Structure 1
Amino acid sequence: MTTSPAPAAPAGPDLTDEQWTTLVRARATDPQAVAKAYAARTRPAPLLSQKDTLFLVAADHPARGALRSGPDPMAMADRRSLLARMVTALDNPEVDGVLGTPDVIEELLLLGALEGKVVIGSMNRGGLDGATWTMDDRFTGYDAASIATNGLEGGKMLLRIDDRDAATAGTIEACADAVTELATHGLMAMVEPLPYHREDDGSLTLLKDTPSLARAVTIASGLGTTSAYTWLKMPSCDDPETVFGATTLPCVVLGGVPSPDPAQDLDSWGRALVQATVRGLVVGRALLYPPDGDVASAVEAAAVVLRAAHAGEDAA
C-alpha cells in the first residue's frame, strides 16, 4: 500500500535569484554583515502605530520544529519561500513589524526588509514540537541583553501552562526573570500564556475555555518585578470580554493554527480586537500560507479587520 504525499502549499511569492544568491553568499562569506545590519537598521519612532495599534507577522515556528501549515507538514521548511512570504507581508505599510528568532530576523535584515519596522525577538523555543519534553519551553533564542544590544523593540516568550507537569514551574520562573530583565532595559516583554491539558496518554490539548484563558492571563500579568513593559499575546476565544477583561495590560491577538476558512479566522480575530485592552494582531501561518497562496491579499484582509476594530477609537 502506498501513501500519497501531502499536498504542497499553493505557490506563493518568491525571492529573486539575485536576492537569494546574495543572501546565501553573505551567510557563508561575511558573518560580520549581520552585526552591521543590526546597527544600521532604522528603528520605528513609536512602538505603536499612529492608530495606537500593533500588527506583526510571526515566523518563530521553525525554531521549535513546527513546520506544518494547513495540510502541508513541511510548508515552513522551505526557507526561501518563507522569507519571500515574510517580505511580501512586510511590504504592506500597515504591517508594523515582525516577531522571529535570530536566524529569521537576521535574514530579513540582510534582505533589507526591516527598515522602520518593529522587531520583537523570540526568546524560548526549546519545547520542540512533538517531543516528549515539548512543554519544557527553555530559553534558546534571544535574551534580554542581546535584544537590547541589537536594538530590537522587545522580546517574546512562550508560557505553556500544564497543571500536570511540574516542569511548568521552571518556565514560569524563567519567564518572570525575562520580564524583569527586559523591563530593566525599558523594552517590551510579550508573554504568550497558553493553558494546556495533558491526557493520560500524554497528548496535549490547548484549553480555550473562558476560565482557563482568564487564569492564564492573570498568571502572566503578575510575572517579574514590574509589569510596566509587559504585553500579553492571547488567542481569540468565545468570550473575549471576560478573557481580555482580566487585565489592564495591552494585549495582541495571536493567529494560532489557521482554520481551512480564512473568513472564520478573520471574524474570530475581529471579536477580540474590539476589546479595550487589545491593541493588535500577531499572526504567522494564517497569513503567510493562505489556502490560495495570495499572501498580500491575506495580509490586507487582516489589516482591514484591525482598522475596523479601532475605527471607533479614532472617532471618539
Structure 2
Amino acid sequence: MPDLLQTLVETRVRRPGAVAAAAANRRRPTSLLGAHGRLMMVAADHPARGALRAGDRPLAMADRADLLQRLVLALSRPEVNGVLGTPDVLEDLLLLGALDGKVVVGSMNRGGLAGTVFEIDDRFTAYDAASIAAAGYEGGKMLTRIDPDDPATAATLEASGRAVSELAGHGLMAMVEPFISHRVDGRVRNDLSAEAMIRAMTVAAGLGTTSAHTWLKVPIVDEMERAMAATTLPALILGGEVSADPDKAFASWQKALALPTVQGLVIGRSLLYPADDDVESAVATVVGLL
C-alpha cells in the first residue's frame, strides 16, 4: 500500500498532466454490456458524499490505498466490465491502468452530504456532461432523491433533468438513481416500498429532453416485478448497504436479473467490503449470478 500511495502522489505532484494523458490513451469498451450480456459495475462514489461506512466499520472507505486495491482486484475480473466513481477515484484508477476496456461512469452530484441538514440538496459538485465527454467516459450518474417535504427537491430535479439532456446530447448514458425520501428523526431515509419505487422511477424516467440514453439505478424492493413494470427504461440493481445475510442479498439480485428491464448490477460496499472481507470470493459469487 505505501508504494501505491507514493507512486500516485508523486505522479500527481510532478506530472498532473498524466491524468489527461491516461484518459486519452484508455482503451474504450465496444459496448456497455460485457461478454455475459450484462453491465456489471463496481461503485465507489460514496466517499465524496461523506459516506464512508461499510457494515459495522464506520470509516471503512477512509483508507484510499485500501479502497483502490479492492477496486483494482474487482476490476481485474473480466466479468466486472464497469466502474462508477468521482474524479479523484477514477483518476487514481486511470493512473493505475485499471480502466482499459471498462465502462466508466462519472458520478455527478455529491453535494447532498450524508447526515447534513442540506442532504436533499444534491448539487452537482463533481462531473458535468462536458467533462465526462472530454474524458472519453461512457456516461454520468446522478442521485435523485425526492422528499415531498423538502423544497430543495425541486432544484435537484431540475439539475438532474438538465444533466440527462446534456449527456444525451453527447450520446452518453445518463444513469439516474431515484428514491422517494423522508426525514426520520432528523436523518434522510429512503422509502423502499414498491409504491414509492414506482413513483420515483416514473418521475426519473421523464427527466430531460429525451430518455433515449437514460438508465435507472434502483434498489431491491418487495414486489420487484410490480415495481419494474412501471418503466421500459433499462435498469441496474444497486447493492446498497453491506448485508448481514449476503446469501439472501445474492438471491434477490439473481431473481431481479430475470426481469426484462434489468440489465445488470452496480454493487459497491457489498462487493468491496463483504462481511468476511474476502473481496475475491464476493466478486466471484456476484459475477456467477450473471
1:39 match: 24
Aligned residues: 290
Corresponding position: 1:144 with 2:149: no
Percent identical: 59
The aligned residue for residue 251 of structure 2 is: 267
Match of 1:294 in 2: 278
Output the CA distance in 2 between the equivalents of 1:260 and 1:29.
Answer: 44
Alignment of 1:29-178 (within 5 A): 29-178=14-163
Contact persistence 1:237–1:272 (CA under 8 A): no
Report deviation, 1:229.
Answer: 0.2
Distance 1:230 1:69 in 2: 29
1:233-266, CA deviations, whole angstroms, 9 ceiling, x for partnerless residues? 0001111111111100000000011111211211
Q: Which stretches of structure 1, 4 residues or longer, exceed 6 Å deviation after superposition?
A: none
Q: In structure 1, what is the Cα distance between the partners aligned to 2:130 and 2:75?
A: 26
User: Which residue type is aligned with residue 111 of structure 2?
Assistant: G
1:195-214 to 2 correspondence within 5 Å?
195-199=180-184, 201-214=185-198
**Counterparts of 2:76 and 2:125, CA distance in 1:** 29
CA-to-partner distance for each residue in 1:97-144, whole Å, 9 max, x for gaps? Answer: 100000000000000100111100000000001111111100000000
1:106 is paired with a residue of what secondary structure? helix
- Find the aligned partners of 2:110 and 2:138 in 1 and give their Cα distance: 19
Instruction: Structure 1: state its 5+ residue gaps.
Output: 1-14, 308-316
Checking the alignment, whether the CA contact within 8 Å between 1:124 and 1:157 is kept in structure 2 is yes
Distance in 2 between residues matched to 1:75 and 1:218, nearest whole Å? 34
- In the alignment, which of 205, 226, 232 is matched to residue 248 of structure 1? 232
Most deviating of 226-235 and 18-27: 18-27
- Displacement of 1:18: 3.6
TM-score in terms of structure 1 length:
0.90
Displacement of 1:303: 0.8
Distance 2:208 2:226 in 1: 24
SS in 1 for 2:218: strand
Is this contact kept in 1: 2:26–2:100, CA < 8 A? yes
Unmatched 5+ residue regions in structure 2? none
Q: Distance in 1 between matches of 2:35 and 2:243?
A: 31
Is 2:243 aligned against 1:282?
A: no
Larger Rg: 1
* Structural RMSD (CA): 1.0
SS at match of 2:40: strand
1:303 corresponds in structure 2 to 287
* Per-residue Cα deviation, 1:51-75 (whole angstroms, up to 9, x for no partner): 3310000000000000001111110
Distance 2:45 2:35 in 1: 26
Residues 38 and 151 in structure 1, CA contact (< 8 A), matched pair in contact too: yes
Q: CA deviation at 1:271?
A: 2.0
